[in-house]
Structure 1
Amino acid sequence: MTGSEDSPSFRLAYVPGVTPDKWVRIWNERQPDVPLSLTQVPAAEASGVLLGGDADAGLVRLPVDRTVLSAIPLYTETTVVVVPKDHLVTAADEVTLGDLADEIALHPLDDVLGWERPPGRPAFERPATTADAVELVAAGIGVLVVPLSLARLHHRKDLTYRPVTDAPGSAVGLSWPEDAHTDLVEEFIGIVRGRTVNSTRGRRPAPAQAKDERAMPARSTRTAGRKQAPGKPSGGGARRGSGGAPKGGRRGRPRRK
């Protein structure tokens, strides 16, 4: 398993559309002795890569099987419709699924939105990949509804996109095998959650006894270890300059003016 004491390293899988660059940069700053390797995997294969031990953690499309994988959600993407630049849809700043009812909506086999019922009219056959669907949109065969990151990933100069306000969003999260929550995984969790390098999250609090000892004032080195004479008060007598005299002592006569 990666992250052994002999040669620690961290393997991160990520799905198309996700850009881990910022988190990788922070990792390299905080863990210069632990190399991080990146592997892009299709969204449908991400869980298998994690469970097969080929990655320590992954930036994946949610949901995942929570009986075997742990996951924390990071963000949910806006959903857009990809169309040719001269399409009628481009007249509006945003559209609804109802606006696409009469359009041929391409539904690739690697779709990540998990439709209960895809929008628009179905094409005669489903494209194998999102990249293939984008080519069909450019050919004027239909429109494509995808997360914004995938629209940007497959950008073409002759295509554009508009937000679809009532379409489902695609959630992205960090996931790892349930039984492999290592220290390196916890370190990457802290990075994606924005913890600072000095964050105390996950550290053990100081024992109560030690905390109490730190709170106690230090004893004077002049009195430490000194034995108290029998019959004498612990205060050591009256202080000089305190303005008072020992009890029962004689007072001097007042000076004449």
Structure 2
Amino acid sequence: MDVDLRKLRYFVAVAEELHFGRAAARLHIAQPVLSRQIRALEGELRAQLFVRDKRSTSLTEAGRQLLEDARPLLASASALRRRVATADRGTFTVAFMPGITVTDAVGSFSSRHPDVTVELLRTTWADQTEVLHDGRADVSVVRLPVDRRGLSVRPLFGEPRVAVLRADHRLAGKESVLVGDLADEHLLNDPDAVPEWRDVAVELRDGTASRWQEFRSVEEKLEHVAAGRGIAVIPLSTSEYYTRPDVAHVPVEDLPPNEVCVAWVAARRSPLIFEFAELLRSV
């Protein structure tokens, strides 16, 4: 039996809304049509997916299992369509993190493949591998740590990390600092990205840490540093690229280098991917 992806999309909408009316509105279809499609899916799978009464809709155990499996399946199907479309257009997309330049590799690649259009996609900590899984990028130059599941990851280089402080901060102007010198500070990074700080952080020990905020860009994070809301730890190249007078950059001596790698979906066997990865490693 082949599972209809359209019915799966309908199912996920109902499972997320737990309300047939809202799900129908979200899908821009009539509620009776949605109900029929869900009943048809239940018939095909020979399993009840929802328990419905006049007051509520809830998932059965089979429904919960299907929701868990359907989301990555739909994401893979969407990524497949996107990759096929970009291949048809003759494009190759390279994603990269702030502070990283891919100019030399892109130039060499383009000279070898003048019929291929190289597109560039800037990423963040939040989506640097997501762009691979959803098909937006063919390769991604990432900064570790990342979730490596389903990916091939090859090292490129490492670079020192610096603490970014407000210009009038007590540590600004020092030649370097240690992680222990930052123990009293509020870190604007995800603590898991700087485990050495997490191990000594006062705000984590005494439970006064505020909820970590996800930033969409380096510029946004630097605005918070300049406003005195905390400090950040970023790679040296990123700090040099985003220079501004109201923040200071101080090397952190006892932090290991930030590792930069090239990553792609492991199941893909495109010669262009392997060639571009080798170009990155050579330059």
Q: State the TM-score bracket (shorter-chain normalisation).
A: 0.5 to 0.7
Q: CA deviation at 1:13?
A: 1.5
1:72 aligned partner: 154
The counterpart of 2:232, out of the listed 112, 126, 144, is 144
Structure with the largest fraction of helix: 2
Identical residues among aligned pairs (%): 34
For structure 2, the residue ranges without an aligned partner over 5 or more in a row are: 1-82, 204-208
Q: Which of the residues 91, 110, 115 maps onto 2:195?
A: 115
Secondary structure of 1:53's match? coil
Of residues 115, 126, 138, the one that matches 2:212 is 126
Match in the other structure for 1:8: 90
What is the match of residue 62 of structure 1?
144
Q: CA RMSD in A?
A: 2.8
- How many residues align? The count is 193
Secondary structure (helix, strand or coil) at the match of 2:121 reads: strand
Aligned equivalents of 1:41, 1:169: Cα separation in 2 = 20
The whole-number CA distance in structure 1 between the counterparts of 2:178 and 2:144 is: 23
Residues 1-257 of structure 1 aligned to structure 2 (within 5 Å) = 1=83, 7-102=89-184, 104-109=185-190, 113-115=193-195, 117-118=197-198, 120-122=201-203, 124-129=210-215, 130-194=218-282
Distance 1:108 1:170, change over 3 A: same
CA contact (8 A) 1:113 1:170 kept: no
Unaligned runs of 5+ in 1: 196-257
Give how far 1:108 is off. 3.5
Partner of residue 198, structure 1: none
Distance 1:30 1:84, change over 3 A: same
2:271 and 2:85 map into 1 onto residues whose CA distance is 8
Q: Deviations over 1:65-105 (max 9, x none)?
A: 44411011111221101123333323431110122233x23
Displacement of 1:176? 0.7
| C-alpha distance in 2 between matches for 1:159 and 1:4 | 41
SS of residue matched to 2:282: coil
Moved more, 51-60 or 80-89: 80-89
When the two structures are superposed, what TM-score results if normalisation uses the length of structure 2? 0.59
Cα 1:66–1:99 shift into 2, 3 Å: closer
